[in-house]
Amino acid sequence: MLNQYGQTYPGYPQTPPEPTRPLGVAILAVLIGIVGFLFILAGLLLAAVGLVIGVSLPLFGFTLTSVAAGIVILVIGIIALALAFGLWHQRMWALVLAILLFAINFLSDALTGAIFSLGSILSLILVVYLIAVHRHFL
């Protein structure tokens, strides 16, 4: 609480400063959000194409497979959008999930022998970066 001179009264607790969002986290959140949106569109499109083909042609196996794949892709897109939202608002669960996903991506590349690929190196850099900025998350 401030007095008429803009000073705080003794005994009143200071409000903690708002955490600042690192630029890299903001860029990562926007990129993950774009990917999530594209996954949602792709999932809806795949499910719709499967249903249209299933109605017009008697290809039950194709219809079932494409609708199931579309639903899986749709769910992945929703999870990606939730992750982007959590990173944007600096939530600890989003930080942990992002670190886990990038670490799993790096380890899977390492196990398949593609450890020096661009994706693998980028995943490792993002894991290190997210660990470095962990103090900005609530």
Does 117 share its domain with 132?
Answer: yes
Does 79 share its domain with 95?
Answer: no
- Nearest partner of 31 among 71, 88, 94, judged by Cα: 88
Distance (Å) of CA 36 to CA 59, 83, 101 = 30, 9, 14
What tokens does 12 get?
């009143």
pLDDT of residue 127: 97
Domain boundary among 53, 68, 89: 89
Specify if 12 maps to a domain. Answer: no
Helices 92-111, 118-132: axis angle to 10 degrees equals 150
Residue 1 has pLDDT above 60, yes or no: no
Domain boundary among 89, 110, 130: 89
Does 111 share its domain with 130?
Answer: yes
pLDDT of residue 55: 77
d(CA 84, CA 31): 8
Residue that wins the pLDDT comparison between 17 and 71? 71
Residue 94 has pLDDT above 70, yes or no: yes
Specify if 55 maps to a domain. Answer: yes
Does 29 share its domain with 83?
Answer: yes
Residue 3 has pLDDT above 80, yes or no: no
Specify if 113 maps to a domain. Answer: yes
Distance (Å) of CA 38 to CA 35, 51, 62, 75, 131 = 5, 20, 23, 12, 27
This prediction's pTM: 0.80
Does 72 share its domain with 102?
Answer: no
Q: Which domain holds residue 99?
A: 90-138
